[in-house]
């Protein structure tokens, strides 16, 4: 039965979408993502004391078993979703794992995000992990907001930092605010929107919301508040900025071509709230999504959503599997029965969970832009669409090029079944990509990962959850390319050198190379061969 679109319901949906914003933070480890997240939650009233996110992390370590690994290494492997409210907005912050070996997980999370915040350490500028994640955002064309962090420490010249983004990422910049001083002499930021200076006081390690003194640019007190040289330097920079700067163009921001720039210090709470306010004004609200039935508008009355991540054993007491679903249209209601596009079956969405970090509360309704967690008894796979009304499937989530490969062996034949089951489930969950040799005699799966730690997690979980000890046999490749046009296209080019051909989980050809040089050589010799870094999505 179709969902009825009464004027009241339409109004409800329009309002819900207008008041929702969803984003992910992309950064290199140590840039301050955890700290910034914590401060955002502090402003959102979701936590009352800084330190809670880290404390939560520590608590989780104490209760989780396979995540023992996280504890041993002091890293965060899993991504979660944090929901909070600020100023009439419902905000979904899609948190991503900090460790670079888990960037595959981050890629998928970015598929569910409408906006990205690129967090950089002002002393370091662009770092490798940020560049990689930026490329994923660019592919999706989502708006990117830049926050330069750690201004309470000596950093690089602000113009130079902006120039780096322009030159190296090809992304235009617009400084929404501007820092006054840096390091020990960091005095605050000038907000170009209101033309006011926010002078900040340091709080004890930023444990509460920082008190800010706001003064006009023309206020005579300014010369007393800032030391003279700092004041002149700031005035000069401002003049330069206004002379050379690009115009602010929100349309360009929404197309991911212009990044608004913000400055601050997450740890001491300088500039975080100012950033949040501008971000909420400029960020894209939940937008339409491409599907087999055309663009699906968020205000479409029929519910739809897709699975972007699966997570096993978040709660070790239940040995459960949670599917993270991004709501794309209509309204989600507890216990609703929806169609599962891949299998054609009807699925009842019971026990929905609101996700807050590791804690969970029950959830009765959700709107476009929200993320819900559902218990997943093997029903869902990454990329699955669920819907009501007209049949549709959202574009799948691409697999990204792995860089490490190894045969996974099960030395104990009596464990064959458990081994198969474990490998399958971990693949479905997206813990690792699985490939196979084209040689039928070689039946062992090839694990294909972005980082070494992914291998360790797979082995650890196979042992702990499926009771199978495994052996790894590394392969000396570091580059994978899918072949556009599949086997037909590959067979046409004849024999290739310095590469091995394997099959992915869908039987499609993938070429493996020792290094980029070999890959470029094959591309050069066979211009007709369409080699792709991202797997064509499976529909």
CA distance 80 to 517: 37
Binding span for ligand G4P by CB under 6 A among 13-21, 100-108, 149-157, 315-323: 149-157
CB of 132 to ligand G4P, least distance (A): 15
173 is a site residue for ligand G4P (CB under 6 A): no
CB of 153 to ligand G4P, least distance (A): 5
**By the 8 A CB rule, do 168 and 126 touch?**
yes
Return the residue of 42, 47, 266, 423 that touches ligand G4P, per CB under 6 A. 266
CB of 93 to ligand G4P, least distance (A): 13
For ligand G4P, the closer of residues 141 and 183 by Cβ is 183
For ligand G4P, the closer of residues 33 and 254 by Cβ is 33
CB of 6 to ligand G4P, least distance (A): 45
State both tokens at 262: 């913000």
**By the 8 A CB rule, do 270 and 200 touch?**
yes
CA 81, 87, 88 angle in degrees (round to 5)? 80
CA distance 509 to 499: 12
**By the 8 A CB rule, do 459 and 426 touch?**
no
For ligand G4P, the closer of residues 266 and 372 by Cβ is 266
201 is a site residue for ligand G4P (CB under 6 A): no
Total count of residues recorded for the chain: 539
267 is a site residue for ligand G4P (CB under 6 A): yes
CA distance 338 to 349: 7
98 is a site residue for ligand G4P (CB under 6 A): yes
CB of 97 to ligand G4P, least distance (A): 10
For ligand G4P, the closer of residues 202 and 354 by Cβ is 202
Return the residue of 120, 152, 384, 504 that touches ligand G4P, per CB under 6 A. 152
209 is a site residue for ligand G4P (CB under 6 A): no
DSSP lists the bridge partners of residue 189 as: 179, 198
CA distance 270 to 186: 9
CB of 63 to ligand G4P, least distance (A): 21
CA distance 149 to 267: 9
Binding span for ligand G4P by CB under 6 A among 6-14, 84-92, 259-267, 433-441: 259-267
For ligand G4P, the closer of residues 37 and 353 by Cβ is 37
- Torsion sign over Cα 343, 349, 352, 355: positive
**Nearest C-alpha neighbor of 65 from the set 358, 355, 373, 319:** 319
Size of the site for ligand G4P (CB under 6 A): 16
93 is a site residue for ligand G4P (CB under 6 A): no
Q: Residues 414 to 473: which contact ligand G4P by CB under 6 A?
A: none
For ligand G4P, the closer of residues 98 and 286 by Cβ is 98
* Helical spans, DSSP H, in 283-431: 416-429
CB of 187 to ligand G4P, least distance (A): 15
CA distance 70 to 3: 44
State both tokens at 254: 């929404």
In 3-state terms the chain splits into helix, strand, coil percentages (rounded to 5) of 30, 30, 40
118 is a site residue for ligand G4P (CB under 6 A): no
153 is a site residue for ligand G4P (CB under 6 A): yes
CB of 89 to ligand G4P, least distance (A): 23
For ligand G4P, the closer of residues 269 and 518 by Cβ is 269
Q: Residues 21 to 60: which contact ligand G4P by CB under 6 A?
A: 27, 29-35
182 is a site residue for ligand G4P (CB under 6 A): no
CB of 142 to ligand G4P, least distance (A): 20
DSSP string, 422-468: HHHHHHHHTSSEEEEESSTT--SPEEEESSHHHHHHHHHHHHHHH--
**Nearest C-alpha neighbor of 423 from the set 396, 451, 444, 399:** 444
Interface residues toward ligand G4P, by CB under 6 A: 27, 29-35, 98, 149-150, 152-153, 265-267
């Amino acid at each position: 039965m179709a969902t009825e679109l009464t004027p009241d319901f339409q109004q409800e949906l329009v309002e819900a979408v207008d008041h929702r914003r969803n984003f992910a933070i992309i950064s290199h480890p140590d840039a301050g993502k955890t700290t910034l997240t914590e401060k955002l939650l502090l402003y959102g009233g979701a936590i009352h004391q800084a330190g809670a996110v880290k404390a939560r992390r520590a608590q989780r370590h104490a209760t989780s078993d396979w995540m023992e690994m996280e504890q041993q290494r002091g890293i965060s492997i899993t991504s979660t979703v944090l929901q909070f409210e600020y100023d009439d907005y419902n905000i979904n912050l899609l948190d991503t794992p900090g460790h670079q070996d888990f960037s595959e997980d981050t890629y998928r999370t970015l598929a569910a995000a409408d906006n990205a915040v690129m967090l950089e350490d002002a002393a370091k500028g662009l770092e490798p992990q940020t560049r990689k994640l930026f490329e994923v955002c660019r592919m999706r064309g989502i708006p990117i907001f830049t926050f330069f962090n750690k201004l309470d420490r000596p950093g690089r010249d602000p113009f130079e930092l902006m120039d780096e983004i322009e030159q190296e990422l090809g992304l235009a910049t617009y400084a929404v605010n501007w820092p006054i001083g840096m390091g020990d002499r960091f005095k605050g930021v000038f907000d170009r929107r209101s033309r006011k200076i926010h002078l900040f006081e340091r709080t004890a390690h930023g444990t509460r919301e920082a008190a800010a003194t706001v003064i006009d640019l023309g206020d005579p007190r300014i010369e007393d508040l800032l030391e003279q040289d700092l004041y002149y330097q700031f005035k000069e920079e401002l003049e330069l900025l206004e002379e050379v700067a690009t115009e602010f163009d929100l349309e360009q921001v929404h197309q991911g071509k212009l990044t608004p720039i913000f400055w601050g210090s997450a740890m001491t709470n300088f500039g975080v709230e100012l950033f949040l306010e501008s971000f909420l004004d400029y960020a894209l609200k939940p937008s339409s999504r491409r599907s087999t039935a055309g663009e699906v508008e968020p205000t479409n009355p029929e519910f739809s959503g897709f699975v972007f991540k699966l997570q096993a054993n978040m709660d070790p007491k239940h040995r459960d599997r949670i599917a993270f679903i991004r709501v794309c249209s209509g309204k989600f209601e507890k216990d609703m029965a929806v169609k599962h596009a891949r299998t054609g079956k009807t699925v009842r969405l019971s026990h929905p969970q609101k996700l807050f970090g590791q804690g969970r509360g029950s959830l009765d309704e959700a709107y476009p832009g929200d993320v819900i967690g559902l218990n997943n008894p093997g029903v869902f796979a990454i990329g699955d669409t669920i819907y009501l009304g007209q049949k549709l499937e959202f574009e799948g989530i691409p697999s990204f090029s792995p860089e490490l490969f190894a045969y996974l062996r099960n030395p104990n034949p009596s464990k064959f079944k458990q081994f198969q089951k474990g490998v399958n489930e971990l693949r479905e969950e997206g813990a690792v990509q699985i490939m196979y040799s084209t040689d039928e005699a070689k039946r062992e799966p090839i694990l294909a990962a972005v980082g070494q730690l992914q291998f360790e997690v797979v082995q650890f979980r196979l042992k702990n959850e499926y009771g199978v000890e495994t052996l790894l046999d590394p392969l000396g490749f570091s580059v994978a390319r899918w072949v556009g046009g599949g086997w037909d296209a590959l067979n046409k080019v004849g024999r290739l050198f310095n590469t091995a051909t394997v099959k992915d989980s869908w039987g499609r050809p993938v070429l493996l190379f020792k290094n980029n040089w070999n890959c470029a050589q094959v591309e050069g010799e066979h211009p007709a061969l369409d080699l792709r870094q991202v797997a064509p999505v499976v529909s």
